[in-house]
Amino acid sequence: MHVELISVTPDAERLIERAARTCYDTTDRMSSSDTSTFLEKLFNAGHLSVFEHASATFRIAGVSRACSHQLVRHRLASYSQRSQRYVAEKEASYVVPPRVEQGGKALSDTFRSAMEASWSAYAELIRLGIPREDARYVLPNACTTELVMSANFREWLHILKQRLARDAQWEIREMCGLIYEKLREIAPSVFGLIARESPKNH
């Protein structure tokens, strides 16, 4: 799994403060204000619309399509995903769940055999003249994918709160953990407002 921050609103926290202070006609106080304290007050008061003025875009690679299917439920974000219709799956590339990986050789072998059978069937269908857009139907949810995802800070706060929760599915939780660390690094006064829970289990 690889998560790369490829774009973010410059000086995002000050932009959010400026937008909020416009509401209260207090932009003259920006030079002497503590931005972090001000943003925390906005967050606690539920004044979240101003967080929409800043946004971040990530390149996400090596996650499964099972993970991306969960991710696109967040409909206020924008997505561009590697196409299985136009791009051939030339070699088997898939995510193995930790419970399978750690479950012993018999379990791991069963899973890997299923993956190999899927790719073998995919290659054979293409060899027989079936177009990729139809051959891909035999590929599993475990198949890796790549996507670019953009969202404003308010939506990122929502996504991270949901997907970093203790009971979130392990893969999307791991992915969001990487996103959280990068966002907290560039906008600590915003993303420090939410906590990262310890997982219950995988």
Using a 10 angstrom Cβ sphere, with 0-12 exposed, 13-18 middle and 19 or more buried, the burial of residue 93 is middle
- Catalytic: which of 65, 136, 163, 173? 163
Residue 163 among the catalytic residues: yes
Q: What token pair was written down for 36?
A: 């972090």
Give 94's strand partners. Answer: 143
10 in Cβ contact with 55 (< 8 Å): no
Please list, in sequence order, all residues whose beta carbon lies within 8 angstroms of the beta carbon of residue 128, skipping any fewer than 6 positions away: none
Residues with catalytic annotation? 163
